[in-house]
Chains A and B, each alone.
Chain A
């Protein structure tokens, strides 16, 4: 099976007068067909540049981009227009055409692809239904709420049956409840249409809610990546910490441990058998279909070395909270 998206050695350098800006510094990424992959990273990490390279709105300085096995970066203008029809894009600013109704916006890519009017009408009705806006086709964007506009944006992106759906901060302009609905819609669309989805975001909650796998982008490099269930089980990593944050406790806490939920019994038996260790806080979440538990443990200062060794011996991945190593 070919992958939905394959990036190899992708680099993008913006030559500026003050010196070159390396926006992407050698990205290798493989997203299987039908998967929802999240790319997280702080502002300026290169997330937007990465999607823009996938759409060829931006030409990579070097490296290759394959969408459904077809090279995007080498395509000439005519080929590019054909390849782009296999790519749907959802923007943070939605970018609907204000002079067109919701239905006309959704029909736009079909019109460009010269789909006959009758077939176009059918498809638009289908898509309005898919995004939960049946009957609102005649509304102009100005008459729709932020969430409704993004639904139209998603329908337009899906109109020409793309094999890849790229979403650049699709929910960053939306409130929490609307964000949930839009993410649920994206997941639902993937389940029904089987489209490969790449979601760019700076919010961990988006990854938690919808992604199967995730990459952490930092200054143009992927510094961590993997399926969600695997990533949260790694210890001391930024993704694990941020994906399942522990409740804040007042007492000085010392160590954190993560485990698969089916091992809860053994974990607690092990902890119970170690002197000077008490559970301060804990949480369980389902991520990418895997239930993961994380504990924060209070360790008595005089028993510290022995307790840590015993916890590790019990098969727990233990990390000492930053700043407390020296304590």
Chain B
């Protein structure tokens, strides 16, 4: 046991690479989560607004948006990442490194989060929207002041689910050269048979997910006044 531990702390793959890989994972997940929120929130609201019973139902626009979102969600991430390589290269100048991984991660997470936004907003009772309409509120005012504000706990939960999905996607992205914990686990743990490296990476990922879920739940509860 003691030997095994001291082995861990003397393994350069862990002492040198682990902090760096963790940071890369955090950057990858952080940036793509931010961009997914910026893209997914309006897309989800647009889906809801144009849908049946929305603020401005538009059958054909809604059908098109829905199709795009479904296609985005049904592609396995690894295929999306590979298919996007030319696009990624044109955006970041390279298909390797954590910066490059942000592109497919964001593209995959936007439709994912958009659906969660749509279902959270759908939970807002129509009567609250009517109360706002009777107060003379415009569509934009209802969107932000009623739909988003009243569904905030659901939006926070949906965002937490999205960020956690991004952590797992980011590990997959590691397999195709994105760096981070996924890459470390595969290149040392799998390719070089250092299963202790693999285990340590998995532990760090589990801790990260645990931390994100706890934080997400805390925030959701703090904004929930129901």
Interface residues of A (CB under 8 A from B): 55, 57, 81-82, 84-85, 87-89, 91, 93, 95-100, 108-109, 112-113, 140-142, 156, 160
- Expressed in whole angstroms, the minimum distance between the Cβ of B143 and any Cβ of chain A is 13
> Are the C-beta atoms of A89 and B134 separated by less than 8 Å?
yes
Q: How far is the CA of A104 from the CA of B186 in the complex (A)?
A: 54
A109's contact among B125, B127, B136, B138, by CB below 8 Å, is which? B136
> Are the C-beta atoms of A93 and B146 separated by less than 8 Å?
no
4 A-B pairs with least C-beta separation: A109-B135, A95-B127, A140-B225, A81-B136
20 pairs from A and B in contact (CB 8 Å cutoff): A57-B130, A81-B136, A81-B137, A81-B138, A84-B133, A84-B134, A88-B134, A89-B131, A91-B130, A95-B130, A95-B131, A96-B131, A97-B149, A98-B225, A108-B132, A113-B136, A140-B225, A141-B225, A142-B225, A160-B135
Q: Specify which chain B residues have a CB less than 8 angstroms from the CB of A93 in the assembled complex.
A: 125, 127
At the interface, yes or no: B152 with Cβ under 8 Å from chain A?
yes
Q: How far is the CA of A46 from the CA of B137 in the complex (A)?
A: 26
At the interface, yes or no: B58 with Cβ under 8 Å from chain A?
no
> Are the C-beta atoms of B125 and A95 separated by less than 8 Å?
yes
* Chain B window 122-151, contacts with chain A (Cβ cutoff 8 Å), 1 for yes, 0 for no: 000101101111111110010001100110
Q: Specify which chain A residues have a CB less than 8 angstroms from the CB of B128 in the assembled complex.
A: 95-97
Known contacts: A93-B125, A112-B141. The answer to whether A98 contacts B150 by CB under 8 A is yes
Q: How far is the CA of A55 from the CA of B132 in the complex (A)?
A: 12
Which of B143-188 touch A at CB < 8 Å?
Answer: 145-146, 149-150, 152
> Are the C-beta atoms of B152 and A112 separated by less than 8 Å?
no
- Expressed in whole angstroms, the minimum distance between the Cβ of A50 and any Cβ of chain B is 15
Q: Specify which chain A residues have a CB less than 8 angstroms from the CB of B145 in the assembled complex.
A: 108
Q: Specify which chain B residues have a CB less than 8 angstroms from the CB of A141 in the assembled complex.
A: 225
Q: Specify which chain B residues have a CB less than 8 angstroms from the CB of A160 in the assembled complex.
A: 135-136
At the interface, yes or no: B226 with Cβ under 8 Å from chain A?
yes
- Expressed in whole angstroms, the minimum distance between the Cβ of B99 and any Cβ of chain A is 37
Known contacts: A98-B150, A142-B225. The answer to whether A82 contacts B136 by CB under 8 A is yes
